[in-house]
Amino acid sequence: MAKTILITGATSGFGRACAEYFAGAGWQLILTGRRSERLEQLQTQLGVAVRQIISLDIRDREEVFEKLGSLDDIDVLLNNAGLALGLEPSWDVNIDDWETMVDTNIKGLMYCTRALLPQMVKRNSGHIINIGSTAGAWPYPGGNVYGGTKAFVQQFSRNLRADLIGSKVRVTILAPGMAESEFSDIRFKGDVEQAAKVYQGVEALRPEDIAETVFWIVSRPAHVNINAIEVMPVDQAWGPLAVHRQGK
């Protein structure tokens, strides 16, 4: 019997690539996202692999529990939906952008996890994969609240593992580095030219790279839990600590 994966934020980037990859591997898909027309297009593209599409804003707690709380046979929850907004310094940022990132990257992930985790615990089977970011471990100018939200995802994933000890439910955090997708288009609010500069001269990760990694994670034997994976393109690495020199 085919396994079922529920993917949040399935309409673009990592989510869409994972939907396509898992469909090709014979899985059943439940796909969620805010853009219903894109969900419908994806359903048409992937055909019978798509068991259900759910138009959903994960920031809305009542909607999440109403639409996801009754699902009782999800093998994998891929908490993929998330975003970054802006690169302004902390004192100049739009506070609405901060709240949107917190509501999506933290609260939305919490709601989806809480809605689906009870059925996994009851069945003593399941896997939660949380998409984090290297920004959750390594700071950069302008990363402020985005990095903070992804640090939450990292620690939340660890604490889920602690809560689930003794059960067969697995938890993984996957933290990508620079990846070329709609991510930067959204960060810069549709400024395609500014978004393109992020990847100029760099061979960044592709959504397909993340999809392959997610599939590898869920394909490990049932007694194996991949706690965390951090993945960067070869063209990205850590830099030296910043030092400001007086008079420079």
So what's the pLDDT on residue 133?
A: 97
- In contact, 47 and 34? CB cutoff 8 Å: no
Q: Which residues, in sequence order, are bridge partners of residue 228?
A: 173
HEC per residue, the chain: CCCEEEECCCCCHHHHHHHHHHHHCCCEEEEEECCHHHHHHHHHHHHHHEEEEEECCCCCHHHHHHHHCCCCCCCEEEECCCCCCCCCCHHHCCHHHHHHHHHHHHHHHHHHHHHHHHHHHHHCCEEEEEECCHHHCCCCCCCHHHHHHHHHHHHHHHHHHHHCCCCCEEEEEEEECCECCCHHHHHCCCCHHHHHHHCCCCCCECHHHHHHHHHHHHCCCCCCCCCEEEECCCCCCCCCCCCCCCCC
As a whole number of angstroms, the distance between CA 14 and CA 214 comes to 10
Phi, psi (deg, nearest 5) at residue 220: -70, 155
246's tokens: 């007086």
How many CB atoms sit inside 10 A of residue 181's CB?
21
Sheet holding 169-176, edge to edge: 50-55, 28-33, 4-7, 76-79, 126-131, 169-176, 228-231
So what's the pLDDT on residue 196?
A: 72
Q: For residue 152, give every residue at least 6 positions away whose Cβ sits within 8 Å of its Cβ, in sequence order, or none.
A: 105, 106, 136
So what's the pLDDT on residue 190?
A: 66
Tell me the average confidence (pLDDT) per consecutive run of 10 residues in the chain, 248 residues long. 95 96 98 96 97 97 97 97 93 96 98 98 98 96 96 98 98 95 68 74 95 98 98 94 86
Please tell me which residue in 21, 111, 140, 146 is annotated as part of the active site. Answer: 146
So what's the pLDDT on residue 181?
A: 78
As a whole number of angstroms, the distance between CA 236 and CA 195 comes to 17
So what's the pLDDT on residue 219?
A: 98
So what's the pLDDT on residue 185?
A: 64
- Up-side HSE of residue 48: CA atoms within 13 Å toward CB? 3
So what's the pLDDT on residue 194?
A: 74
So what's the pLDDT on residue 248?
A: 63
Q: What predicted TM-score, i.e. pTM, was given to this entire model?
A: 0.94
4-231: in CATH 3.90.1170.50: no
Is 140 designated active site? no
Number of residues in the chain: 248
